[in-house]
């Protein structure tokens, strides 16, 4: 692995920060909406309004899903730092370029394998 300790701690700090941001966002999404049932009760029988509530709820769900994916990647990257395998492509085993890690600290594959 070709990453020096200072860069590693810089990237770890970035990952920890991203983890905190994503977790806060997930928490906000989880407590913000009460689900479509609650929305239906609030809005009565206005169908347009109900449809919009459902759409917003579904958008929240897909946002939540992508945040979950991001959080998983971040946790995996942190785990790989602990394991000493960080910066190595999990597909082909070659070093992930430092520029790529700087741009995307949670990357676990090289650019070629990611495509
Ligand atoms: Zn690769």
CA of 97 to the centre of ligand 1 (A): 10
Dist. CA 73 → ligand 1 center (Å): 16
Q: Which domain covers residue 40, as residue numbers?
A: 5-114
Q: How far is the centre of ligand 1, averaged over its atoms, from the C-alpha of 65 (Å)?
A: 25
CATH number at residue 42: 1.20.120.910
Q: What is the whole-number distance in angstroms between the Cα of residue 9 and the centre of ligand 1? A: 23
Query: Cα separation of 40 and 69, whole Å?
Result: 29
- SS3 (DSSP) at 95: strand
- pLDDT surpasses 60 at 115: yes
Q: What is the pTM of this model?
A: 0.76
Q: How many CB atoms lie within 10 A of CB 87?
A: 24
Number of domains, the chain: 1
For the segment 21-31, what is each residue's pLDDT rounded down to a tens digit? 999 999 999 87
Query: pLDDT value at position 80?
Result: 95
* Segment 35-83, tens digit of pLDDT: 555 545 555 556 777 888 888 888 888 999 999 999 999 999 999 999 9
Kindly give, in sequence order, each residue whose CB lies less than 8 Å from that of residue 67, ignoring residues fewer than 6 positions away.
22, 25, 26, 29
């Amino acid at each position: 692995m070709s990453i020096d300790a200072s860069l590693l701690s810089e990237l770890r700090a970035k990952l920890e920060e991203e983890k905190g941001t994503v977790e806060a966002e997930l928490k906000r999404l989880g407590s913000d909406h009460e689900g479509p049932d609650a929305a239906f009760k609030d809005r009565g029988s206005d169908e347009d309004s109900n449809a919009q509530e459902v759409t917003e709820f579904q958008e929240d769900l897909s946002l939540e899903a992508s945040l979950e994916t991001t959080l998983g990647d971040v946790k995996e990257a942190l785990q790989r730092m602990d394991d000493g395998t960080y910066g190595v492509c999990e597909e082909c085993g070659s070093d992930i370029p430092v520029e790529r890690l700087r741009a995307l600290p949670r990357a676990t594959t090289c650019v070629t394998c990611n495509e």
